[in-house]
Amino acid sequence: MLKKQFGKKFRIIAAIERDDILLLNKLMTEMKHDPFDPVDTLGSNILHVACYMGKLNLAKWIYTSLNIDLNICNFDGQAAIHLATINGHFNIVKWLWEMGADCHAESLYYYRTPYYMCCYLIKHKQAPEVQLGCENVNLKIGKLVQIKNFLREKYFSDMRGYEIRKFLWAYKKLKDKGTSLGRLTSGMAREIGEFL
């Protein structure tokens, strides 16, 4: 069924799933597939799929040899770092950050940053077994907490972190006057809510 749905692109996804760099390279050469072209119905390219599946070596190869921009988004506005985050792949999130991926990127719907996605999944314990590939809820939440702590540390170490600290200081002063985070709609406001 999937073969009919995706056609030739199904073979590329299968090569990524097998973590087979040689097969992926061969298929892309044979099919003259542009690495930026989507390989699934969500508009994800091969880097998105590799990060979603947790294939770090393949993601590194795709980035270095095919020169794919780490911050390109799929149709949902999710970059590779969003997909790695919601699936609990800490090693990929860390590598993407080290390579210069935008940790503050907001998805198209609900403007969710990777950090906010972690906080949401942890709070509501909504990390699907299929995504994280394990059945133990505590293990899934543990992976997300590890990513959340890493991203929080990075947020407070850069300029945006400074903006958040400044906003927190102002918010705490106004809190007694009835100011509410509920009135703010940006992704940053939701992130800040986690620090209060």
Report the candidate in 107, 58, 61, 62 with the shortest Cα–Cα distance to residue 81: 107
The model's pLDDT over 177-193, given as tens digits with 9 standing for 90+, comes to 565 555 544 555 555 55
More confident residue, 111 or 101: 101
- Split at pLDDT 50, 70, 90, the class of 166 is low
The model's pLDDT over 23-72, given as tens digits with 9 standing for 90+, comes to 888 888 887 778 778 888 888 999 999 999 999 999 999 999 888 889 99
- Taking the domains of the chain in order of start, what are their residue ranges? 2-157
CA 5 to chain centre: 25
What is the structure's pLDDT at 196?
47
What is the structure's pLDDT at 57?
94
For the chain, percent of residues with pLDDT exceeding 90: 21
Average pLDDT over residues 9-28: 88
DSSP-assigned letters across all residues of 112-176: --HHHHHHHHHHHT---HHHHT-S-HHHHHHHHHHHHHHHHHHHHHSHHHHHHHHHHHHHHHHHT
What is the structure's pLDDT at 31?
79
Q: Does the pLDDT of residue 161 top 50, yes or no? A: yes
The single-letter code of the amino acid at 147 is I
Report the candidate in 45, 52, 40, 141 with the shortest Cα–Cα distance to residue 92: 52
Q: Does the pLDDT of residue 171 top 90, yes or no? A: no
The CATH superfamily assigned to 2-157 is: Ankyrin repeat-containing domain (1.25.40.20)
Report the candidate in 73, 16, 13 with the shortest Cα–Cα distance to residue 43: 73
Report the candidate in 134, 132, 168 with the shortest Cα–Cα distance to residue 52: 132
